[in-house]
Chains A and B, each alone.
Chain A
Amino acid sequence: MKFETVIGLEIHVELATRTKLFCDCENAFGGDQNTHCCPVCLGLPGSLPVINKHVVEFAVMTGLALDCTIDPESRMDRKNYHYPDMTKGFQTSQRYRPICTNGCLAFTSEDGTERRVGITEIHMEEDAGKLIHEGTRPVSSADYNRAAVPLIEIVTEPDLRSAEDARIFLAELRDILLELGVSDCRMEEGSMRCDVNVSVREVGGPLGTRTEIKNVNSFRSITRAIAYESRRQRELIERGGVVEQRTLRWDDAAGRTTTMRDKENSNDYRYFPEPDLPPIVLPDGMVEQLRAGLPKMPMARRAEYEAVGVPAADARLIAQTRWMRTLLDGALKLRADARTVSNTLIGPLSAFVNEGMEIPFTGAEMAEYAALVAQNKINSNGAKTLLEEMMKGGKQVDEIVREKSLLQVDDTEALKAVAVEVVSENPAAVESYLSGKEKAFTALMGAAMKKTRGKANPAVMRELILSLIVKE
């Protein structure tokens, strides 16, 4: 049997709003237990919810970025079940009319093909509190700081076909959410959580039964969990078994999935419309305003960069990195050679930034630099010096070039004279090279560079020296 794996994702994203979904309590990570709580998020008797406008805006922005249809009159519903981290005994979510539906996110698979993943829906909901199980006593402790923190849940169609694709898709989604500024998407802090639905089927056959895997806390876990579960299901079917629809828990240390307790599997949530919240009617013009204010999406940026010659891998990194983007965008405005700029960004400038330095010059100056390099007006030594001087800040590019005499010498006549000198002054090196020692040539080039104080056009110099010694 030839199997294919079918994967869908449910991604919960904590929104970076100042306050919680239904109350004015601070939405902050960390802090002493139960210090960001009020009657509303504690679900005290008599408390009532009032929706945070920013949450609605973030949900709409995310929907627009993912090409969704925005429902101008979505509703909230109650999902009823008991658990100690749930203050009301129900979670207020959106079941019957979520705010966004029917979107799509395209990404480039590792084999270079474009894949599209359908976004079934994006809905708003509240987070639960946290249960802490510490110490030796048979008790757990509940902390409600996180109760009613706003989440959006992004549900995909089962359109993914490999663990690697899932990882790429998730990375792409994360880039978008970061670009929008709706969340800090830190999986390790729990502000982005992913449940994975996995099923297998014979290629061309009907969809198999899926299992839902929870507790997948990192990108790496996601790929490992998918790989494990798809293999488990395949082997089960090949042995003649049947995959049961289950909620599973990923145990990253053990590298396997385990069944969660039955109670979680058999819940009837009894969804019904939240009677304390009338329909969420989007104010006139909100969607258009948000659409107009959307930042350029990472994929669009990357495509633009690639179109002007930036290699794909570099394009991705530059698009994600604000300082790089700023310089490249500024340089491109002046029609700089994109490849030269990207190389400089990825290479020497990244090195500077990693040492903690800040780039004091603009995209325009970057363009000037790139022009000099691309037009071969300075050689690599000259370029290095120029960049170092630019990093000190305060001087114009042409000022630096003039002061340090960085312009490459191209004058063939002048260089020819130098070549003749070098050859006559280094007979041992010439002989060494002619007898097959390639390395000896470096000494000749070095001498030439020294004589020209590093400003000789290396390609021209090389040709001139070669033409002299090979002739002989």
Chain B
Amino acid sequence: MNQQEIAALAELCKLEFNDQALEAFSEEFGAILAFVNQLAELETGDTDAYVSSLHAPLRTDSAQPGLPHEQVIRNAPETDGEGFLIPRVL
């Protein structure tokens, strides 16, 4: 992968690399990709992708009190006492 592609990938997962870091990371990433590319050798044919054999439990629709308001916002990096504040979303 070239550095441009890596930068685009980083944007998807909300990470950024400065030029220096990008170069170092590109190299490492190349090695990691080569490592996982071993998988290409494996014949998987028409094997099914793994799926859990369990059934999702279906919960009864009965309301319970949630967290008290102050517990909901207690860890907020920035709050006005009611909600979670973030830089303005246009």
Contact = CB atoms under 8 A, between A and B. Distances in A.
Q: Answer whether A and B touch in the complex at a CB cut-off of 8 Å.
A: yes
Interface of A: 17-19, 23-27, 32-39, 41-42, 50-56, 75-76, 82, 84, 131-133, 137-144, 261, 268, 270, 273, 277-281, 283
Interface of B: 12, 14, 51-64, 66-67, 69, 72-73, 78, 80, 82-90
27 contacts: A17-B61, A19-B62, A23-B66, A24-B62, A25-B66, A26-B63, A32-B82, A33-B82, A34-B72, A35-B72, A36-B66, A50-B57, A51-B57, A51-B58, A53-B61, A55-B61, A75-B51, A133-B89, A140-B86, A141-B83, A141-B85, A261-B90, A273-B51, A278-B51, A278-B54, A279-B54, A283-B58
Contacts of A54: 61
Given A84-B86, A143-B83, A34 B62 contact: no
B64 to A, nearest CB: 4
Q: Is the interface of B mostly helix, strand, loop or mixed?
A: loop
B72 to A, nearest CB: 5
Contacts of A75: 51
B64 A24 contact: yes
A131 B72 contact: no
A424 B56 CA distance: 90
Contacts of A142: 83-86
Contacts of B51: 75, 273, 278-279
B83 A33 contact: yes
A50 B59 CA distance: 7
Could you say which of A17, A26, A35 has the most chain B C-beta atoms within 10 Å of its C-beta?
Answer: A35
Contacts of A84: 84, 86, 89
Given A131-B89, A278-B55, A281-B56, A34 B63 contact: no
B62 A279 contact: no
A38 B67 contact: yes
B85 A52 contact: no
A279 B82 CA distance: 37
A144 B79 CA distance: 13
Contacts of B78: 139
B66 A38 contact: yes
